[in-house]
Structure 1
Amino acid sequence: MRPSEWFAKTLFGRTLLFIALVVASGAVALAVIARYYAGVAAERAYDQLLSGAAIQVAENLYVQGGVLALNPPVAAFATLSSYDIVYYKVVDSRGIVVAGYSDLTSRAALSEAQQGPVFQNGQYQHQRVRIATVARYMPEEAVPGWAVITVAQTTHARAQLTNEMSFKVWTLIVLMSLLAIGASGLAIKRGLRPLAQIEAIIAARDTADLRPVAVDTPSEINAIIGAINTLMQRLAQRMTSMQRFIADAAHQMRTPLARLDAQIELLGADIDSNSNANSNAAHARERLDALRRTCTDVGRLTGQLLNHAMVIHRSEIVALQPLELNALVKEVLGRAIPLADERDVAVAFRSDAAQTLIFGDAISLGEALSNVLHNALLHGGADDIDVSVSSTKTSVELTIRDNGRGIPQSQWDTVLLPFVSLQQDGSERSISRGTGSGSGSGLGLAIVSEVMKAHGGGIRFSFPAAGGFALTLNFRPYVSSSA
């Protein structure tokens, strides 16, 4: 892995890179500040020397015969010239240069120079110089007035001192930055050690071992451990549910297949017998009808098994979307009515709104509604079905009422379990334990229950005062963000 990929793809690399960038940014800011203050410190130090030299020149002025003269302060000039080149100029009260370099100029005002040394930057003889200007009152001159003293020094020593001070501070900043980044790397590596421990524990486990992860970790990682353990628990529950479902499904498939095999054997025996031909034909037709019914049961059971697995799968991966319920119900009604065969079935649909929007999955809901109508038509014997949709600000209810036999109130919770169905007399039975031909596979309402759980809704059974049996599905309405 290249260094750039390592920094981008590893938590250690990302964290260390972020810390390094922060430290580097701080180091650059500190270096700039250090450079500024080093320059200020060097400027103040050399300005003190330059100010002392200008004052000494002023103190060494004297008047002889009414004319201003200077006794140069050699010691002061020697101190300054040991670092840089020094220039000076003395102007008497008449504005005549009496000593020094006549072309050395200063922009300092006389009123400011009278208060003390005035500093400024300038150029002299093609070099950068620092200029100090001070004024002294000379009453002994022929024309009493202020003498102006100007002393200039090149800035090489100042720049050298600034660089030396900056280099020392920069070296300290670099060392401290490297120390901070190194210490951060060690701290991150130590902080990530519990994650590596968790990784080793999970990697060493068998695929069937879904026990909670038990490891002593810092409190900040407890949330990760909790999430992993919750996932383990959900996986264990899902695997247990799927194993139970597969076992039940295998048993349920064996029962109709055994019946199918028996019917085929009986049909073959009737055809091969030497009994009366007419009797054989009648028995053959009966066996054939039984065979058709068994094949239908197998097909229906297989379809419901697949649908049950489908709605469970979709509930985990498909996000609910805004869905128009009225159109979906009409479409399902159009597909379900032919299930009544030759019976004359009256169907009514009504809704309190032209459009009813809910959060839902059209495929899963369509399968659930089909199963409700299938139970009413084929197992409930209904021939009058009334479907209504009512909505409020907080809920949407879809009610399917029929005039069939209905479900006894004592069995309302039981019939929502997989592979549980009712005999024609209303007594409960489990097909997984039954051997005869039942009235259904026991998966229809279980599919409806799974779909409603995925939609955050519920199922309610009732015997309306108007008669018949009713099943109500409750949904949460869709409310647009602009509403």
Structure 2
Amino acid sequence: MRRFDRFAGTLFGRTLLFIALVVATGAAALAIIARFYAGVAAERAYDQLLAGATIQVAENLYVQGGVLALSPPVAALSTLSRYDSVYYKVIDSRGMVVAGYPDLDSAANLAAAKQGPVFANGSYQNKPVRIATIARYMPEERTPGWASVTVAQTTNARQQLTNEMSFKVWTLILLMSALAIVASALAIRRGLRPLAQIESIIAARDPADLRPVAVETPSEMQAIIGAINGLIARLAERITAMQRFIADAAHQMRTPLARLDAQIELLDSETNPAQVAARLAALRKTSSDVGRLTGQLLNHAMVIHRNEVIPFQPVELVSLVKEVLGRSIPLAGERDVRVSFESGCKQIWLSADAISLQEAISNALHNALLHGKADTIDVSIAGHGDTLHVTVTDNGPGIAPENWDAALRPFSRLGETGQGTRAGSGLGLAIVDEVMKAHGGSVHFALPPSGGFSVVLVLPRPPGAGSE
């Protein structure tokens, strides 16, 4: 049973079993039809013999002394009696039995029998018989009229002929069905051969070999090859991105860690209290930079992971932005920062990943607070056709237009801005860009006419998205 289950669990087994079921059903139907037509053919053949014998009996009727008599046609009756018993009866125009078996009954209509042999099924001496009846006009009788001749034959020969014909046809059906199943099995094996070839090629590959699979296959399997190559291409792209990210992260972490180690060495050898305090302050700043960089690296990895595996859920955008504002403003420290929030709707619902979206908005605010050195931040939500714009505007120096593309690339340090403000690690706005792309949106920068710098998060607005 387990072996059959394993066989039925394969593509070859499932396909072959389905074909075998169809062939067996068709063969059974053909066998039933063949049996029916074999019976019809045997019936017709022996009805012809029975009709001929009945006509010959009728032709051998004669009148002698005004009385109907019969000269039995021995040859005709012997042909019928080779495999069966034959019975006959002759009735004259008066309704008297003049020859044969008086108890042989026939339900044939005399009017129909006048036109030719009339057939019927019956039983005689507890045996099934086929009965033929014909009428002949006998004017020489004392009472001129129609005489009827009835000939009955048992059905053994008919049944035997039906069985022989059915057996021959059934044998042919069985052979053809077996041939069809065997041919199907060979065809399926041959058709599945390219899959086995693909399997062996992929199984023999080195895990680091992410080249497209190149194999000659039928056109129907090109879709599978295309899907496999598409997956390999996406996997290669993802692995390349992760390798680049790991290399960049290692490079980015190496510098502050080396600086931290050097500052500890200098602090250990310092004796001047004023210099000790200065070096402790520098050490705290470097440690804070390392912590912030580590957090951004983890956040970036988290965003990438969530973009691939976390399904979107309904998210209320206005309350989410307010929550992020409440958590982010304390980062300004002792600076006096004025924050405003404006939304044309009390609620805006959209399908999104709330955690990734919070991270994106938080990084846009951090960019203004920590790197833009702004003391005024305006956050607004507005609808523009089929998109939603979450805009973070600050009065800081911003990023020069020629650096806007680079600002969205991971670890792209922009150096000193035109106003002397140093850019961050290069991960914050890259995280924002990753989240927006995952949500089908984008990130734009703008220089408002009133001054300052704007980061615009563009999100698609689902049709019929509820808003109040």
Compute the TM-score of the two structures, normalised by the length of structure 1: 0.90
Report the counterpart of residue 461 of structure 1 in structure 2: 445
Which of the numbers 279, 293, 310 marks the counterpart of 2:302? 310
CA contact (8 A) 1:400 1:472 kept: yes
Matches within 5 A, 1:65-464: 65-270=65-270, 273=271, 275=272, 280=273, 282-391=274-383, 394-426=386-418, 439-464=423-448
Structure 2 CA distance, aligned partners of 1:195 and 1:100? 78
> Deviations for 1:165-209, whole angstroms, at most 9, x for unmatched residues?
111111111111111211221222222222222222222222212
Uncovered stretches (5+) of structure 1, i.e. residues with no partner: 430-437
> Deviations for 1:276-329, whole angstroms, at most 9, x for unmatched residues?
xxxx1x333222222222121111111111111111122222233333222322
CA contact (8 A) 1:421 1:428 kept: no
Secondary structure, aligned partner of 1:337: helix
> Deviations for 1:124-183, whole angstroms, at most 9, x for unmatched residues?
222222111211122222222222222221112111111111111111111111112112
- Cα RMSD for the two superposed structures: 2.3
CA contact (8 A) 1:420 1:428 kept: no
Structure 2 CA distance, aligned partners of 1:337 and 1:132? 111
Name the aligned partner's letter for residue 396 of structure 2. Answer: G
Secondary structure, aligned partner of 2:430: helix
Structure 2 CA distance, aligned partners of 1:447 and 1:481? 26
> Deviations for 1:211-234, whole angstroms, at most 9, x for unmatched residues?
222222332223322222222222
Report the counterpart of residue 433 of structure 1 in structure 2: none
Q: CA deviation at 1:49?
A: 0.8
Structure 1 CA distance, aligned partners of 2:101 and 2:29? 43
Secondary structure, aligned partner of 1:420: coil
Structure 2 CA distance, aligned partners of 1:9 and 1:372? 53
Structure 1 CA distance, aligned partners of 2:346 and 2:76? 103
Structure 2 CA distance, aligned partners of 1:122 and 1:352? 96
CA contact (8 A) 2:386 2:462 kept: no
**Inter-CA distance 87–328: structure 2 relative to 1 (3 Å threshold):** farther
Compute the TM-score of the two structures, normalised by the length of structure 2: 0.93
Secondary structure, aligned partner of 1:413: helix
Structure 1 CA distance, aligned partners of 2:464 and 2:30? 53
CA contact (8 A) 1:358 1:396 kept: no
1:478 and 2:462 matched: yes
1:24 and 2:24 matched: yes
CA contact (8 A) 2:410 2:427 kept: yes
CA contact (8 A) 1:368 1:451 kept: yes
Secondary structure, aligned partner of 2:48: helix
CA contact (8 A) 2:411 2:427 kept: yes
Structure 2 CA distance, aligned partners of 1:468 and 1:311? 29
CA contact (8 A) 1:322 1:478 kept: no
Q: In the comparison of the two structures, how many residue pairs are matched?
A: 466
Name the aligned partner's letter for residue 380 of structure 1. Answer: G
Q: In terms of mean alpha carbon deviation, does 174-183 or 84-93 score higher?
A: 84-93
Q: CA deviation at 1:452?
A: 1.4
> Deviations for 1:431-452, whole angstroms, at most 9, x for unmatched residues?
xxxxxxx642210011111111
**Inter-CA distance 327–91: structure 2 relative to 1 (3 Å threshold):** farther
Name the aligned partner's letter for residue 426 of structure 2. Answer: G
Secondary structure, aligned partner of 1:238: helix
Q: In terms of mean alpha carbon deviation, does 368-377 or 213-222 score higher?
A: 213-222
Uncovered stretches (5+) of structure 2, i.e. residues with no partner: none
CA contact (8 A) 1:457 1:473 kept: yes
Structure 1 CA distance, aligned partners of 2:170 and 2:385? 68
CA contact (8 A) 1:358 1:475 kept: no
